[in-house]
Structures are given as C-alpha cells and as structure tokens.
Amino acid sequence: MPEKRSKPLGDAVAEATRTADHPGVKQAPRKRGGGRASDVFGGEIRRRDLFPLLVLHLIRGGPSYGNQLIEAIESMTQGVVSVNPNTMYPLLRDLESREMIEGDWEHPDKRTRRFYSITDQGEAEYRRLLDEMEPFLDSMIRSITLIKREVYGD
C-alpha cells in the first residue's frame, strides 16, 4: 500500500530551515509584509526536493552519516550550496520516519554517529525524484546560462 505523505519532502525541508542560518547561500532581503523575495539558490532549492534527492543519491553509494552528507553536498556544488545541520538532521529523521532510509548507530551504547542506508522504498522515491527534479535543474542551468550570456556576452 503506498504511503500517504502529509507534505512533500521539499516542504518539510523548507519548514525546518525557514529560520536557520545557511552559510554559503545568500539570503534574499525581506520584502514588505514579511515575505521573502525570490531566492533561487536558497528558497527554491529548499522548496523543491533537491536535498532529499541529493541525500538519497549519496546514501545509495554506501552508508553515510549527517556531517559526511553535508560535506559531500558542499563538495559536489563547490560550496555554492551549503546545507546547515539544522536542515540535514530533520531531513534525515523525516526520511527515516518515512522508511526511505534506515539508521544504525556506529556504537549503539555511545550513540556517536548514525549511519544511514537506503531502503527499497527509498530507492523508489529516489527514482521518482530523479524524474521530478530534472526539469527544475535544467531550468536553473538555462537561467544561469542566460544571465552569464547577458552579462559577459557569447
């Protein structure tokens, strides 16, 4: 029976990170009325399911723990996208509660690092996210290319 989700993973990430500091990701200035101006690298990435896609992608390569995932995402994006621990750990708990990943303590008696592995349900979600996110990523590439072309020429 398919699992019912109360909200998309991206919404859960956005909610968890709404007030968190995001080093390396420039925050857009607040608009009058308290809303945020458009911020592609901060807001839109958090609203979409990019972080869950990246986490599932990285965990597919082998068991990983939170700080390792944070460092891998920063390395993969050459520091353009930084993931705050206040984003990563709620996301990992959410993915685990949805049975997409499973965690095991490195030393169960000490609760040091929690290593996460992908489940069959996580593999299915990963494939779904791959299809869903590709048009968004393509649009980001097009937008950045157009900005660069406009500013620097061909």
Domains in the chain: boundaries: 9-19+38-152
Q: Return the ∠ at Cα 79 (arms to 7 and 144), rounded to 5°.
A: 75
Sequence-distant (≥ 6) Cβ neighbours of residue 87 within 8 angstroms? 13, 16, 17, 20, 22, 46, 51
- Taking residues 14-29, what's their average pLDDT? 40
CA-CA-CA-CA dihedral for 130, 132, 135, 136, to nearest 10: -100
Indicate the residue type of 124.
A
Residue 99, C-beta contacts closer than 8 angstroms, at least 6 positions apart: 3, 119, 121, 122
Encode pLDDT of 88-103 as tens digits: 999 999 999 999 999 9
Work out the pLDDT band at 61, boundaries 50, 70, 90.
very high
Judge whether residue 65 has pLDDT over 90: yes
Q: How far apart are CA 120 and CA 117, in angstroms?
A: 10
- What CATH code is assigned to 9-19+38-152? 1.10.10.10
